[in-house]
Amino acid sequence: MPLTLSIAAYFVVAVIILMFGRRIGRAVTLVAAVPYVGQIVLVTVRWPTRDPASTESFDWIPSLGVAIGLRIDAVTLLLTAVVAGIGLLIVIYSDRYFPDARRRARFLGLLAVFTGGMAGIVVSNELFGMFIFWEVTTVASYLLIGFDDEKAAARSAALQAILVTAAGGLAMLAGFVILALESGTTTIGSLVADPPTGTTVTVALVLVFIGAFTKSAQFPFHFWLPGAMAAPTPASAYLHSATMVKAGIVLLLFLAPGFASTDVWLWVVTTTGLITMAVGAVVAMRQFDLKLLLAYGTVSQLGFMTALIGLGYTGTALAVLIAHSLFKAALFLIVGIVDKSTGTRDVRKLDGVGARLPVVAVAGAVAAASMAGIPPLLGFVTKEAAFDVLIADQAWIALAAIAGSSILTVAYSTQWWFGAFGNQQITSELDARPAYPSMVASPVVLGVLTIALGIWPGPLGKAIGEAVGQSVKLVLWPGFKPALALSTVVILSGLAVVWGVRTIGVERLPTAKELHLPTGKGIYAWSIRALNATAEFTTGVVQNGSLPVYVAVIITSVLFVPSMVWFFNWDATIDLELWNTPAEVGLALVAIVGAIAATRVQRRMASVLLLGVVGYAIAGIYVIFSAPDLALTQLLIETLTVALFALVLVKLPRRFGVRPRSLSSRSRAAVSILAGVFVTIGALITSTVTPDRSLTAAYVQQAEDAGGRNVVNIILTNFRALDTLGEITVLAAAAIGITTLVMTMRSSGTKDQA
Amino acid sequence: MKVRFSPLLATGTRTMVPTLILFSVYLLVVGHDVPGGGFAGGLIASSALLLLYLAFGTRGLTRAMPFDPGEVIGVGLAAALIAGLIGLFFEGTFLTYTYSSFSAPLVGDIKISSLLLFDLGVYAVVIGLVATALLRLGSEAP
């Protein structure tokens, strides 16, 4: 239960902040920090007694066998520590990043929603429970990317991110359903313990891959991640480097024990990872925006992890994941500080920032060096571990690709640091304000962790080894081995590349477009255009603006289907009893006369009043058949309808037919007569059916059980309560419609309606 | 142009409106034993609003109505949803109702049910819709 509560706390705090954030004021940051601290405490307390069999689960949709299950073992505790720990640093950082209290509260609230989802993903033990948390992060990410909602670029970047990741999420859901059907279990633990096989499972895996790849910005879906840099920097630091984009990697980590030995896993995951790693690194070289450079760097590093998982090195991948979360979050936060203090992230404008923000520059150097894989940092240790396993297993192609991309990683890491903090003799005066200590604290803490874990990686390696059940060798000094030689070559080549690029000039490098790197962006743009065009076309046809046409379409479609049924299954013998009481005849005559007159009069108001007469007559018939509820409602509805009609009619011409008609009188008459004939036949047929009295008795009995004697009301509010809920929602929508209609008419100043 | 309202209608409305509102609440409360319910009750209350509009115009209606119609709709929808959620938490199914009855001195047995909350939601949404229509469509000057 404590784990469930610790995750629920995020959502509770999110609601509190989003509702009362402004009233809480400055203390909002403290409130926001509560769930993060809670989870850190939980991990600390649980770590010594971690029990692989310890789970918490509760039924969610028992009829479908869907449950939310959480497990508490080494791997989930480790990932929870990453999520909550970095999250806490981001919260502290955000306190000063958002000077405006309202924006700060909104950001921290949305961040808590996101973290709740992310913390749920990393501990999920149930496929469908995980899917829900997965989508929570998708939606929260959408809101955070579009945080500056007054900017069109932010809105479209957010839309792009949610469309790509949600589409992937749907593919993943389909994959989950197939896996659950094939294996007969929805629990991830049992699924990987006894994995199903066959072609169907291969299809399911590919679908799950699409979900993981879209989330983790793998080629060719990677284009949404650079766009997502429209988000506020703390959000990018957390979602788009340290956590959310890791969700796909985490999913693959969870599934790897069961499926990593299949061919589809080896080929699809490894190839995608390697291509992504290379594409990201190449494009990162050509960036001038510090944040975009990091975004492409993230794409590249995610590809690295994916490739390792594809080859089955889950432990090494997890180590790289942790190292990457630490240095990349720090790098983003540092970009945020530089941006805040100078007002730009463009390397062509930044000059001499290192001298003015020395502490930040040092923290940046540590993080960038860890990204480049320089000893004695965690980035070096994990990359070394990756080289070591690849050499040991003689995976030469993967090794070559990873080493090649790593050379570029060294190069763009160096470029990033010199771009942000270097001196480059630009004449423009750049004003750098000093940074807040609370903002500098977070990257410094991450930097200290990177150094500490780099120098003393043993415990982390042990924990990871236990988590994935695969021994992982994390050591700072491996001895003179091929891996060390490779690292040295990579670092030196990387520096050579930097020297080369500096000599040529970054702006002379070919852009991604010039390189003709394939990306999914074109397909995305094309589908959005096609969707819009289809929507416009359909709207043009279906919504042509003529009310009579709408009504005619509705009536004829209602007529068509049931009348076909009658046409083909006509077996009713009509045995007619004309009336029970003479009063019926009188009321029917009133209704008929009223209806005919309503079609004949020329004045709109008279026509509406005559329709009211028809309605009252029908209410009278209800009374005769002792249906007081119906009669009451009918009378009230008729009265109000006539009155509301009158309100609208004063704005229309008094008489019909002043303006040209969209539907000829003949076709109107035809539709009306058809509808009349249809209803008459329907009434005749229903009157011949012998009613099943037991049904009535059953309803009365059940209404008694439900605690009421008015069967009609009990049906509306109890047996069919969901329908009623839907209906009142429609009423609310109608009210919104009326308001919008009147508002737009007023603002556009169309007065010819009057 | 000053609009003149009929004194006859105005006097009649002043007498009728409280009675109508009271009757609408009565219908709402007794709804699940005798004819009535949230929808019918809401319509009766709405007809009171209609009378107010006819007798005193939009401004009179706004003054007599101590709430914003949009908010009434929101509260109504929320009430119906909460009634459903109460069922979800206490009975395990969305929109299942819980009952409790007790005896009060002088009044007799009183039955309290989350169903009444649902009906109250319907009641409020109906009133909110009609009030919106009267205020928006019925305003004199565009």
pLDDT over 80 at B101, yes or no: no
Tokens found for residue A327: 């240095």
Predicted pLDDT at A570? 66
The predicted-structure confidence for A711-727, as pLDDT tens digits, reads as follows: 888 888 888 888 899 99
Predicted pLDDT at A272? 93
A62 touches chain B (CB under 8 A): no
Q: Which amino acid is at A124?
A: S
Where would I find the H helices in chain B?
A: 7-30, 38-64, 69-90, 114-138
Q: What's the whole-model pTM score?
A: 0.75
A708 touches chain B (CB under 8 A): yes
Question: Environment class of residue A499 by beta-carbon count within 10 Å: exposed (0-12), middle (13-18) or buried (19+)?
Answer: exposed
The predicted-structure confidence for A605-639, as pLDDT tens digits, reads as follows: 888 899 999 999 999 999 988 888 888 889 999 98
Using an 8 Å CB-CB cutoff, list chain B residues near A633.
39-40, 43
**Helices (H) and strands (E) in chain A — how many of each?**
31, 2
DSSP 8-state code for residue A581: S
Strand B108-113, strand B99-104: pairing: antiparallel
Overall residue count recorded for chain B in this entry: 142
Confidence of residue A654 (pLDDT cuts 50, 70, 90): confident
Higher pLDDT, A581 or A729: A729
Q: Which amino acid is at A229?
A: M
Q: What is the dihedral of CA A406, A412, A417, A420, to 10 degrees?
A: -160
Bridge partners of B101? B111
Question: For A581-607, what is the mean pLDDT?
Answer: 88
* Region for A15 from its dihedrals, namely left if φ exceeds 0, alpha if ψ lies in -120 to 50, beta otherwise: alpha
Predicted pLDDT at B105? 67
Question: For B108-128, what is the mean pLDDT?
Answer: 83
Of A57-61, A285-289, A596-600, the one with minimum mean pLDDT is A57-61
Q: Which amino acid is at B6?
A: S
Predicted pLDDT at A202? 92
Tokens found for residue B102: 């007790």
Overall residue count recorded for chain A in this entry: 754
Q: Which residue has the tokens 């359903």?
A: A177
pLDDT over 50 at A433, yes or no: yes
Q: Are B33 and B116 in contact (CB under 8 A)?
A: no
Predicted pLDDT at A516? 67
Of the candidates B33, B81, B134, the beta carbon closest to that of A710 is on B33
Helix A101-123 and helix A2-24, axial crossing angle in degrees, nearest 10: 170
Are B129 and A734 in contact (CB < 8 Å)? yes
> Got the DSSP string for A135-152?
HHHHHHHHHHHT-STT-H
Distance separating alpha carbons of residues A298 and A278, to the nearest angstrom: 12
Distance separating alpha carbons of residues A270 and A398, to the nearest angstrom: 8
Predicted pLDDT at A20? 84
pLDDT over 70 at B78, yes or no: yes
Q: Provide CB contacts within 8 A for A526, sequence distance 6+.
A: none
- Which of A38-52, A392-406, A508-522, A675-689 tops mean pLDDT? A392-406
Angle value at C-alpha A442, between A440 and A444, nearest 5 degrees: 70
Mutate to test the interface with A, among B99, B114, B132, B140 (most CBs of A within 10 A): B132
Question: Environment class of residue B53 by beta-carbon count within 10 Å: exposed (0-12), middle (13-18) or buried (19+)?
Answer: buried
Predicted pLDDT at A52? 65
Predicted pLDDT at A320? 92
Q: Which residue, A99, A100, A50, is CA-closest to A77?
A: A50
Distance separating alpha carbons of residues A169 and B126, to the nearest angstrom: 39
Are A707 and B122 in contact (CB < 8 Å)? no
> Got the DSSP string for A393-410?
TT-HHHHHHHHHHHHHHH
Q: What is the mean pLDDT of chain A?
A: 85
Domain boundaries, chain B: 7-132
The predicted-structure confidence for A342-367, as pLDDT tens digits, reads as follows: 888 888 888 778 888 888 899 999 99
Predicted pLDDT at A333? 92
Phi (first) and psi of residue A346, to 5 degrees = -85, 125
Question: Environment class of residue A244 by beta-carbon count within 10 Å: exposed (0-12), middle (13-18) or buried (19+)?
Answer: buried
Using an 8 Å CB-CB cutoff, list chain A residues near B46.
636, 640
Are B37 and A644 in contact (CB < 8 Å)? no
The predicted-structure confidence for A537-570, as pLDDT tens digits, reads as follows: 988 887 777 778 888 888 888 888 777 777 776 6
The predicted-structure confidence for A293-327, as pLDDT tens digits, reads as follows: 999 999 999 999 999 999 989 889 999 999 999 99
Q: Are A576 and A687 in contact (CB under 8 A)?
A: yes
CB atoms under 10 Å from CB of B22, counted, come to 13
Using an 8 Å CB-CB cutoff, list chain B residues near A643.
50, 54
> Which residue is closest to A722 within chain B, CA to CA?
B95
Predicted pLDDT at B142? 41
Distance separating alpha carbons of residues B56 and B65, to the nearest angstrom: 12
Please confirm whether the linkage preceding A518 is cis (ω < 30° from 0). Answer: no
pLDDT over 70 at B1, yes or no: no
Question: For A490-506, what is the mean pLDDT?
Answer: 86
Of the candidates A639, A644, A708, the beta carbon closest to that of B133 is on A644
Bridge partners of A57? A69
Using an 8 Å CB-CB cutoff, list chain A residues near B32.
707-710, 713-714, 717
> Got the DSSP string for A329-389?
HHHHHHHHHHHHHHS--BTTT--SHHHHSHHHHHHHHHHHHHHHT-TTSHHHHHHHHHHHH
Predicted pLDDT at A518? 66
> Which residue is closest to B44 within chain A, CA to CA?
A636
Are B129 and A633 in contact (CB < 8 Å)? no
The predicted-structure confidence for A238-289, as pLDDT tens digits, reads as follows: 988 888 899 999 999 999 888 988 888 999 999 999 999 999 998 888 888 8
CA distances from A117 to A20, A83, A648 (A): 22, 11, 49
Question: For B72-90, what is the mean pLDDT?
Answer: 87
Using an 8 Å CB-CB cutoff, list chain A residues near B113.
707
A261 touches chain B (CB under 8 A): no
Bridge partners of A61? A66
Bridge partners of A655? A603
Please confirm whether the linkage preceding A220 is cis (ω < 30° from 0). Answer: yes
Q: Are A239 and A231 in contact (CB under 8 A)?
A: yes
Predicted pLDDT at A371? 92
Predicted pLDDT at A368? 93
CA A343 to chain centre: 31
Q: How far is A635 from chain B (nearest CA, A)?
A: 10
Question: For B38-52, what is the mean pLDDT?
Answer: 91
pLDDT over 60 at A597, yes or no: yes
Predicted pLDDT at A188? 87
Q: Are A205 and A259 in contact (CB under 8 A)?
A: yes
The predicted-structure confidence for B33-44, as pLDDT tens digits, reads as follows: 787 888 889 999
B32 touches chain A (CB under 8 A): yes
Q: How far is B31 from chain A (nearest CA, A)?
A: 7
b/e string for B127-138 if b means 16 or more Cβ within 10 A? bbbbbbbbbbbb
Q: Are B123 and B45 in contact (CB under 8 A)?
A: yes
Are B69 and A735 in contact (CB < 8 Å)? yes
Distance separating alpha carbons of residues A475 and A462, to the nearest angstrom: 11
